[in-house]
Structure 1
Amino acid sequence: MNKDFLEGEDWLAMVQQYFEKDYRERGKVKWNGFFLSDHTAKLKSKSQNEKVANQAVWLSKRSLEQIQQSVHLAYEHASLLILQKNQVDCDNRIPLPVAGRVRDFYAEGFYLGDEAIDWTEVRYAEVKNGKSRINY
C-alpha cells in the first residue's frame, strides 16, 4: 500500500471536502436520455391527435327521439354506440365521435362506459353492429 494513504479523520475531511466543493451531481442531465424518447413519443402522438381533431366535421344532427332510440337499441343488444357531442372544446374545435357501450341510464341521460352523458349534450348517436351501422 501507499504510505501517503490518509487515515481516520484526515480521510473523512478529504471526503467531506470532495463532496462539498469538487463533486458535481449531474442530476437531470443524467436522466435526459431516458426522458427524451418518452417525451418525443408523446409529442408525436399529441401532434397526430391534433391533426385528426382539426379535420373533424359535424355529423348530421339527430332529433332527441332518434338519439334515444339509438341509445336504447345499443343498450338492449350490448352493441357499440357511436356518438358526437354538441359542444366544441376550448380551442373551438369540433369533437371527434366516440364509441362505447351504454352501461346504464339516469333521469337526464345515460352512461357511456364510465362517463355520464346528458341527452342535451348529444348531437349524433348511432348503433354500430359489426361492420354495418343501424340508422334511423
Structure 2
Amino acid sequence: MIYDDESAKKLFLEAKRVYQDRGMLKWVGFYLSDHTAVLAKDSQQRSQINKEKQQMSMEEIGVLLQQAYVKRSRIALQLSILDSEGDFHNDLIGKVTGQRENLIFINEEKQGILQLTMEQIHHAEIILPSKIFSQKNKEIDE
C-alpha cells in the first residue's frame, strides 16, 4: 500500500494516540549487574551513619599530625563539620604533606590535596599498616 503525505500523517497521529507507553518498564532490561551493584553501593553509603569519636584537644591533634608527618604515616581525621542530617562525614584518610601558619595540608586518598585548620579537626588517629596492626593485636591479647 502506498501512502501519500496526508494519509501517512493521519496514520502516524492515530498510532500515537492509541499507543500506550510502558514508561520505565521498557528500560528494566537495560539494567546490568554493574548498574545494580553501583546502585546498591550508593544506597549502602547513604545509609551509613558515622558515629562521633572522642573530641581531642588541639595539643593532642597537633602531636598526632606531627608524628604522621615525620613518619610519613597515613592518618584518619574526623572533621567537626556535620552533614545535613547532623551526622559526621566519613573520615578523611591520607598523609600530612605540610603546614603553613594555621593551615595543614593533607594528601587525601580520594580528594587529593586538602587544606584544613586545626579547628576543623574533631578527632585524629594514625593508621598503622595492617600487618603491623595484626602483630600488635596478637601481642596485646597474649
TM interval, short-chain normalised: 0.5 to 0.7
Structure 1: 5+ residue stretches without partners: 1-21, 23-28
Q: Could you say which residue in structure 2 is the equivalent of 1:5?
A: none
Q: CA deviation at 1:88?
A: 0.6
CA RMSD after TM alignment: 3.2
Over 3 Å counting, the alpha-carbon distance change for 1:36 and 1:91 in structure 2 is: farther
Written as runs of structure 1 = structure 2, the 5 A alignment for 1:30-49 is 33-34=29-30, 38=35, 41-42=38-39, 44-49=40-45
Separation of aligned partners in 1, 2:70 and 2:53 = 24
**Shift of the alpha carbon at 1:36?**
6.5
Aligned to 1:59: 53
Show CA shifts across 1:38-71 (max 9, x none): 37623x1221002223xx2111111101101101
Match of 2:81, SS? coil
Separation (CA, whole Å) in 2 of partners of 1:66 and 1:74: 12
Q: Match for residue 125 of structure 1? A: 124
1:83 to 55, 70, 77: 77
Q: Which amino acid aligns with 1:87?
A: I
Runs of 4+ in 1 over 4 A off after TM superposition: 29-37
Identity score, percent: 21
122-131 or 76-85, which moves further after superposition?
Answer: 122-131
Q: CA deviation at 1:94?
A: 2.0
- In 1, Cα distance between equivalents of 2:30 and 2:97: 40
Q: Counterpart of 1:12?
A: none
Instruction: Identify unmatched segments of 5+ residues in structure 2.
Output: 1-14, 16-23, 134-142
State the structure with more CA Rg.
Answer: 1
Decide whether aligned partners of structure 1 residues 124 and 33 sit closer, same or farther in structure 2, where only a CA change above 3 A counts. same
- TM-score normalised to the size of structure 1? 0.64
- The TM-score, its normalising length taken from structure 2, stands at 0.62
CA distance in 1, matches of 2:127, 2:38: 31
